[in-house]
């Protein structure tokens, strides 16, 4: 008997029927869900969803980086991009202003560690910087999710996070920040109580961790 590695379990895109189950469950839980073919479709849709002039916070995400969405937003004059602004602010004297900017943008754009077929989104963070906006601080949230992140249930989502996502994110953090990552904060979004606030762009292809 061959035991599947975490990569084999969690890196391959989920088949169409599992994507459909996740999309239906998320919709039943109050999220707006659009199933798209690929990254190009997601990039175009994100542009349509964000109003011109909106303040936009892009959470740290390999999905956003690899797709080009992070650059589309933060190098565009179409929006009030928060991340470039924050990077110019003093981390000591401006700490309260930074916290407020990250917590309550018009739109937060990011991804998640897992989506369950029961309709939950699972997010982990070392710093927690994106979690207030995800949880309700942002007026609107957009999550771009690769098909490999769809899992049957919450227990599998946590296993995906610990066995697959964390080692990859740890390597990334070591290279970018010179320090390891950790699951210091965990957010599970089981439903969206405000209709139209949370949009999940569920891709049929894999991208990100």
pLDDT tens for residues 155-183?
999 999 999 999 999 998 888 888 889 99
Q: DSSP letters of 103-168?
A: HS-SEEEE--SEEETTS-EEEEESS-TTHHIIIIISSEEEEEE-GGGEESSHHHHHHHIIIIIHHH
Domain harbouring 74, CATH code: 3.40.50.10420
Q: With bands split at pLDDT 50, 70 and 90, how would you rate the model's confidence at 6?
A: low
Residue 188 has pLDDT above 80, yes or no: yes
pLDDT digits (tens, 9 = 90+) for 127-140: 999 999 999 999 99
How large is the average pLDDT for residues 99-107? 97
With residue 171 as reference, give the H or E element that holds it. Answer: helix 166-177
d(CA 74, CA 85): 9
pLDDT at residue number 9: 80
With pLDDT > 70 as the criterion, what percentage of the chain qualifies?
Answer: 96
How large is the average pLDDT for residues 83-105? 95
How far from chain centre, in Å, is Cα 202? 11
Residue pair 101/148 in contact by the 8 Å Cβ criterion: no
Q: Is residue 208 part of a domain?
A: no
Tell me if residue 24 falls in helix, strand or coil: helix
Q: Is residue 85 part of a domain?
A: yes
How large is the average pLDDT for residues 198-207? 98
How large is the average pLDDT for residues 26-52? 98
With pLDDT > 90 as the criterion, what percentage of the chain qualifies?
Answer: 91
Q: Is residue 5 part of a domain?
A: no
Residue-number span of the structural domain to which 69 is assigned: 11-203
Q: Is residue 43 part of a domain?
A: yes
Counting Cβ atoms within 10 Å, is residue 5 exposed (0-12), middle (13-18) or buried (19+)? exposed
Q: Is residue 6 part of a domain?
A: no
Residue pair 97/89 in contact by the 8 Å Cβ criterion: yes
In the chain, how many domains are there? 1
Q: With bands split at pLDDT 50, 70 and 90, how would you rate the model's confidence at 56?
A: very high
pLDDT at residue number 38: 97
**Residues with Cβ < 8 Å from 178, sequence gap 6 or more?**
none
Residue 2 has pLDDT above 50, yes or no: no
Q: Is residue 38 part of a domain?
A: yes
pLDDT at residue number 8: 64
How large is the average pLDDT for residues 83-110? 95
Q: Cα–Cα distances in Å, from 193 out to 26, 28, 32, 36, 169? A: 12, 11, 11, 24, 30
Take residue 90 and report the two structure tokens written for it: 């003093």
Q: Is residue 209 part of a domain?
A: no
């Amino acid at each position: 008997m061959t035991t599947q590695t975490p990569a084999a379990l969690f890196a391959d895109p989920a088949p169409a029927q599992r994507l459909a189950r996740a999309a239906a469950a998320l919709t039943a839980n109050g999220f707006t869900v659009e199933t798209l073919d690929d990254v190009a479709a997601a990039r175009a849709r994100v542009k349509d969803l964000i109003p011109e002039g909106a303040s936009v916070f892009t959470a740290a995400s390999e999905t956003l980086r690899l797709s080009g969405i992070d650059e589309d937003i933060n190098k565009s004059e179409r929006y009030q991009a928060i991340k470039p602004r924050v990077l110019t602010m003093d981390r000591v004297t401006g700490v309260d202003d930074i916290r407020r900017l990250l917590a309550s943008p018009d739109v937060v754009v990011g991804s998640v560690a897992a989506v369950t077929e029961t309709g939950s989104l699972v997010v982990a963070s070392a710093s927690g910087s994106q979690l207030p906006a995800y949880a309700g601080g942002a007026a609107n949230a957009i999550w771009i999710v690769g098909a490999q992140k769809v899992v049957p249930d919450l227990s599998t989502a946590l296993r995906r996070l610990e066995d697959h996502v964390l080692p990859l994110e740890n390597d990334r953090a070591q290279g970018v920040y010179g320090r390891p990552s950790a699951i210091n904060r965990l957010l599970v979004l089981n439903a969206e109580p405000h209709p139209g606030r949370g949009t999940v762009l569920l891709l049929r292809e894999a991208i990100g961790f």
